[in-house]
């Protein structure tokens, strides 16, 4: 899911997103609640009409953003009090409020309010946190009234297998339309992340979507798909583009590198997006070096198209029963180039 934090995937129009094949995008409850406000978006007919996107939208609960602001928030059983990053005003997110805000936004998938502790939090804190998240999750479900909006629960528990098992059991017992694995990609190693995911994802209900919150590098995407994940989001493809980096099957290209100054070949010969079909690496490198908006837009367009295409290829190979072999070969090719790797989040 391309991330449209404030109601826009940076640099791309809804038409661009449809053109590259994006099937669903993500919006951020925290930011949209603060600006322009969920009441205004409701008056506009909901987030779909407000931003001109006619496809599905998932909104997170804003919990991750709140809990990343550790210096300005206070947690209680009622919810979490925090200070706005925009104007310093004080707010309180409760499970009931974040559910109502997402209903006002009119997203197709809403998330429960959860607590996302850092990876280095103590076992005792993770234990207390997952149980509070379970209580908040039940409150979110009880408050949820929009019947045409799916509500997803979130499994926490840090890197502790028995705490993950407890959180999974508590979350599935409540019963949700889909399930997310949270609390990963928050400072742990890739190996720790995959080990924890391998213990969690396969045990989630197979008839419900499984969502990994926060992964978007190509290798990581294939690794979590292999463990049974259906959905994922990350700002990485768009953020890399704004720094002049393009994703290709041979790895990442840093267009600020001098060797692309006179490279008149396409960005990615295997891609048919606007950036690859109409412009050379030399031209795109020029735009990036000059910080031209067109350069950011074209590389963003390509990176999102590349990531969507990778998922479509993975789906095809799964259906053909060749995913494991294909994925191993694809990762080997991607890692085998001389370009910097993106198998770690940046």
* Residues classed as catalytic: 60, 233
Query: What is the phi/psi pair of residue 308, to 5°?
Result: -60, -45
Task: Using CB atoms within 10 Å of the CB of residue 277, give its burial: 0 to 12 exposed, 13 to 18 middle, 19+ buried.
Answer: exposed
CB of 284 closer than 8 Å to CB of 265: no
The residue behind tokens 């890197």 is 159
Helix-, strand-, coil-residue percentages of the chain, each rounded to 5:
50, 15, 40
Query: Distance of CA 68 to CAs 58, 71, 115, Å?
Result: 20, 9, 10
- DSSP per-residue codes, 234-301: -SHHHHHHHTTEEEETTEEEETTSGGGTT--SBS-TT--SHHHHH-BHHHHHHHHHTT-HHHHHHHHH
């Amino acid at each position: 899911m391309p991330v449209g934090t404030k109601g826009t995937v940076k640099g791309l129009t809804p038409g661009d997103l449809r053109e590259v094949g994006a099937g669903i995008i993500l919006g951020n409850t925290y930011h949209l609640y603060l600006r322009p406000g969920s009441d205004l978006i409701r008056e506009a007919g909901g987030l779909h009409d407000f931003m001109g996107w006619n496809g599905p939208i998932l909104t997170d609960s804003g919990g991750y953003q709140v809990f990343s602001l550790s210096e300005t928030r206070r947690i209680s059983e009622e919810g979490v009090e925090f200070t706005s990053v925009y104007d310093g005003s004080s707010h309180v997110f409760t499970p009931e409020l974040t559910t109502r805000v997402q209903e006002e936004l009119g997203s197709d998938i809403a998330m429960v309010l959860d607590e996302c502790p850092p990876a280095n939090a103590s076992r005792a804190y993770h234990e207390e946190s997952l149980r509070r998240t379970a209580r908040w999750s039940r409150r979110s479900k009880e408050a949820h009234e929009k019947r045409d909006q799916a509500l997803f629960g979130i499994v926490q528990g840090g890197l502790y297998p028995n705490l993950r098992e407890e959180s999974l059991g508590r979350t599935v017992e409540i019963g949700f339309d889909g399930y997310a694995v949270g609390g990963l990609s928050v400072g742990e190693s890739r190996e720790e992340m995959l080990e924890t995911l391998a213990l969690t994802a396969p045990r989630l209900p197979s008839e419900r979507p499984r969502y990994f919150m926060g992964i978007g590098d190509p290798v990581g995407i294939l690794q979590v798909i292999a463990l049974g994940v259906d959905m994922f989001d990350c700002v990485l493809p768009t953020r890399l583009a704004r720094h002049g980096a393009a994703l290709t099957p041979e790895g990442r290209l840093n267009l600020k590198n001098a060797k692309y100054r006179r490279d008149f070949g396409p960005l990615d010969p295997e891609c048919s997006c606007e950036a690859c079909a109409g412009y050379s690496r030399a031209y795109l490198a020029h735009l990036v070096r000059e910080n031209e908006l067109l350069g950011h837009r074209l590389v963003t367009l390509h990176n999102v198209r590349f990531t969507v295409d990778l998922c479509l290829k993975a789906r095809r190979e799964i259906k053909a029963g060749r995913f494991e072999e294909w994925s191993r070969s694809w990762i080997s090719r991607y890692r085998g180039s001389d370009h910097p790797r993106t198998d770690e989040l940046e």
